[in-house]
């Protein structure tokens, strides 16, 4: 049952991402090129709404949020490789 809800949520996500043409690649490219495209805006709206709602429900104990211990070099280099890969793969 839970698996089904997970699959349904993923399917909705895939549907929404395709229909809205949301793409993190375009969003980050916009940041780099100082453009203001729709993907960048969708990202910012989603980020702001989640900042409020997710932190609120975490504060009320609805969800638990275990944060990873930062690994500076791995996060920075991994992010760098991912960013380059995103442009090459156009994803």
67: phi then psi, degrees, rounded to nearest 5: -90, 140
69-88 binders of another protein (CB under 8 A): 69-88
**CB 4 → another protein: shortest distance, Å?**
8
Counting contacts by CB under 8 A, is residue 68 touching another protein? yes
10-49 binders of another protein (CB under 8 A): 10-20, 22, 24-25, 28-29, 31-33, 36-38, 40-49
Instruction: Indicate the SS3 state at residue 74.
Output: helix
| Residues with Cβ within 8 Å of residue 35, at least 6 apart in sequence | 29
Counting contacts by CB under 8 A, is residue 60 touching another protein? no
* Residue 54 and residue 63 in contact, taking contact as beta carbons nearer than 8 Å: yes
Counting contacts by CB under 8 A, is residue 50 touching another protein? yes
């Amino acid at each position: 049952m839970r698996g089904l809800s997970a699959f349904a949520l993923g399917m909705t996500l895939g549907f929404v991402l395709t229909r809205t043409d949301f793409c993190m690649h375009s969003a980050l490219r916009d940041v780099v090129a100082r453009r203001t495209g729709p993907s960048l805006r969708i990202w910012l709206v989603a980020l702001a709404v989640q900042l409020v709602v997710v932190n609120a429900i975490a504060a009320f104990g609805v969800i638990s949020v275990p944060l990873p211990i930062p690994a500076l070099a791995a996060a920075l280099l991994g992010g760098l490789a991912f960013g380059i890969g995103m442009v090459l793969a156009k994803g």
